């Protein structure tokens, strides 16, 4: 069915927007905050928690950055007023990182400060290699300013990531809080692995390093070789949903697992997520919403033509659609 999926991907640019909207609907909560809140409430029985992402990345003016500050501020208000088990994920370039670093830092600090008042965690998503160091620097700076509710994402495919883990954990010790993923950006081969197996191996090495260095480790992958490796490593380290045996780990924190969690994109491998949750592992769903749903949905479908086929099947046979 990959061939059919590729064919569907080719048709995307000429497909009516309402069709793409149906397709994107699997990966995006909707175009506004209200839709994200309703979706999370609907998923209440799934024994999972959430991270909310306002869609949009690199911006052209600092006014656009203000939009994101205000929108994330509303997100925090809604998490609190609806008592939802969620934290937030934000993209530093949407806060102005590539326009004015100092303003971006102020913007991020404003949101971090508001989140800290309610003990809500803030994850800086990792974008392409132009901002890897700047994103890490912001996390280190914010921790230096006393915020413990911040962490970033590292990408297994980048050659530099092993060193980044060592440097961050050297500065932050067990307050290091990572999301580890393969990395969505296709980076040049001078700085990153490009083959599937190399990326899986490198990502698994990063997971080991994070767990061994007492960091909180959020494993963000739908790929069995990564999930199975993580489960085995956790068992070897005697880390269980109700017991983190590492002597230097920081212990229970609001809305977090004991030392680790598994993260999934909305609409992807819900069956695997539910299986992990049924075994007691903390799972989290990444819930994007916003008016940029079209760009995000198309990107998700392009990433994986197989999905185009699954989603088409879902449209024709809606009963097969299980988030
Ligand atoms: P893959 O080999 O790509 O996928 C394994 C299987 O999962 C596929 O065969 C398919 O069945 C299913 N699958 C995977 N992706 C999709 C999809 N889009 N739609 C439907 N099915 C799919 N990357 C960054 O660079 N920066 C980030 O900040 C970042 N944050 C992330 C947060 C979360 C919670 C997750 C889960 C991923 C994030 N990523 C991020 C993306 C990540 O780097 C990968 O690009 C993405 O997860 C696909 O890799 P995979 O490990 O799931 O393996």
Helix axes 62-82, 33-42, angle to 10 degrees: 30
Answer yes or no: pTM beyond 0.85.
Answer: yes
Report, as an integer, the average pLDDT of 178-187. Answer: 93
Would strands 239-240 and 243-244 be described as parallel, antiparallel, or unpaired? antiparallel
Does one domain contain both 259 and 169?
yes
* Distance from the alpha carbon of residue 307 to the mean position of ligand 1, in angstroms: 12
Task: For residue 107, give the nearest of 118, 122, 117, 119 by alpha carbon.
Answer: 122
Q: Say yes or no: CB of residue 264 within 6 Å of ligand 1.
A: yes
Q: Print the domain residue range for 14.
A: 1-28+302-323
Please check whether residues 39 and 131 belong to one and the same domain.
yes
Alpha-carbon distances of 36 from 22, 290, 300, rounded to whole Å: 16, 9, 18
Give the single-character DSSP code of 265: E
Question: So what's the pLDDT on residue 26?
Answer: 78
**Residue 296: inside a domain, yes or no?**
no
In a domain? residue 294: no
With a 6 Å cutoff on the Cβ, whether 181 touches ligand 1 is: yes
Q: Tell me the best of 125, 184, 225, 321 to mutate to test the pocket of ligand 1, counting ligand atoms within 8 Å of each CB and taking the most.
A: 184
Overall domain count for the chain: 2
Report how far ligand 1's centroid is from the alpha carbon of 37 (Å): 23
156 belongs to a structural domain: yes
In a domain, 295, yes or no: no
What are the residues facing 54 on neighbouring strands?
Answer: 289
Same domain, 108 and 122: yes
The predicted model gives 168-183 an average pLDDT of: 97
Mean pLDDT of 278-286: 98
Q: Which two tokens stand for residue 213?
A: 């260095």
Residue 297 inside a domain? The answer is no
Does residue 85 sit in the same domain as residue 9? no
- What residues act catalytically? 125, 179
Distance 221 CA to ligand 1 centre (A): 6
Q: Whose CA is nearest to atom 33 of ligand 1?
A: 220
Average pLDDT over residues 90-106: 97
Instruction: Band the pLDDT of 315: cuts 50, 70, 90.
Output: low
322 Cα to the center of ligand 1, angstroms = 18
pLDDT band, very low/low/confident/very high, at 304 (cuts 50, 70, 90):
low
Same domain, 156 and 8: no
For position 305, what pLDDT does the model report?
60
């Amino acid at each position: 069915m990959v061939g059919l999926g590729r064919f569907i991907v080719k048709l995307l640019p000429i497909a009516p927007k309402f069709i793409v909207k149906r397709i994107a609907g699997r990966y995006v909560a909707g175009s506004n905050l209200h839709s994200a809140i309703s979706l999370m409430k609907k998923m209440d029985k799934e024994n999972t928690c959430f991270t909310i992402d306002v869609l949009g990345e690199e911006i052209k003016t600092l006014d656009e950055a203000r939009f994101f500050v205000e929108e994330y501020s509303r997100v925090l208000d809604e998490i609190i007023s609806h008592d939802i088990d969620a934290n937030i994920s934000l993209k530093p370039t949407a806060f102005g990182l590539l326009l004015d670093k100092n303003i971006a830092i102020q913007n991020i600090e404003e949101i971090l400060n508001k989140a800290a008042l309610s003990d809500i965690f803030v994850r800086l998503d990792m974008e392409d290699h132009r901002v890897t160091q700047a994103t890490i620097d912001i996390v280190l700076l914010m921790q230096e300013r006393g915020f413990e509710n911040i962490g970033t994402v590292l990408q297994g495919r980048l050659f530099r990531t092993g060193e980044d883990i060592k440097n961050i954990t050297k500065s932050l010790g067990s307050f290091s809080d990572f999301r580890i993923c393969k990395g969505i950006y296709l980076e040049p081969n001078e700085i990153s692995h490009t083959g599937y197996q190399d990326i899986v191996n490198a990502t698994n090495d990063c997971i080991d390093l994070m767990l061994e260095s007492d960091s909180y480790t959020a494993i963000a992958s739908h790929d069995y070789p990564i999930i199975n490796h993580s489960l085995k490593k956790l068992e070897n380290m005697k880390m269980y949903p109700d017991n983190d045996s590492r002597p230097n780990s920081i212990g229970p924190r609001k809305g977090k697992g004991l030392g680790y969690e598994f993260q999934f994109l909305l609409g992807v491998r819900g069956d695997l997520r539910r299986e992990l949750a049924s075994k007691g592992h903390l799972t989290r769903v990444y819930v994007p919403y916003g008016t940029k749903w079209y760009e995000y949905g198309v990107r998700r479908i392009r990433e994986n033509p197989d999905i185009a086929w699954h989603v088409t099947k879902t449209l024709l046979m809606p009963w097969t659609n299980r988030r």
